[in-house]
Amino acid sequence: MNEDLTNIETLIKYLNGILDAGNSRPPNIPSPLILVGAENKTGLSPREITKDIITKSQKIGIPIGPLPDGTDSIMEKMVYTIVETVVEHIIKHGKVTVVIPPGVPVTVTGLAGGVLPVVGQGVTSTYATGKGIIQ
């Protein structure tokens, strides 16, 4: 590394490069798969996330489990506390907005005059938005 990390601008560029290196966009998922998949999601669990982090930590050689004197691992407690706090913030403050673009086919049904069944077809004519809850 030939970077001069005493310069704040260079340091920020370097850190942004490291943070951006791990970013990749998830693939686009077809709508029917989202509809089916959403029903099968279990929701966010701090315990399950912590378990996965600890398992991965063990795989790369980080010692886990009780300390040599038998006391609980402070690192594992810290990981759980961090994960729990992040999940709480995602659930409390996270926002999901759904956008339906113009041109999406729609079918409507109803009763004409409260008696005769009516079916109509068309397309959305403008953007529509909806809201959701992260769980």
Q: What are the boundaries of each domain within the chain?
A: 96-135
Q: Report whether 118 contacts 109 (CB < 8 A).
A: yes
pLDDT at 5: 61
CA atoms within 13 A on the CB side of 71: 4
Mean pLDDT computed over 9-13: 77
Q: Report whether 47 contacts 25 (CB < 8 A).
A: no
pLDDT at 98: 86
Reported as a single tens digit per residue, the pLDDT across 31-76 is: 778 777 878 888 899 999 999 999 998 898 888 888 889 888 888 9
Q: Report whether 120 contacts 112 (CB < 8 A).
A: no
Percent of the chain topping pLDDT 70: 90
- 116-123 vs 128-132, strand pairing mode: unpaired
pLDDT at 101: 87
Mean pLDDT computed over 3-14: 72
Q: Global pTM?
A: 0.59
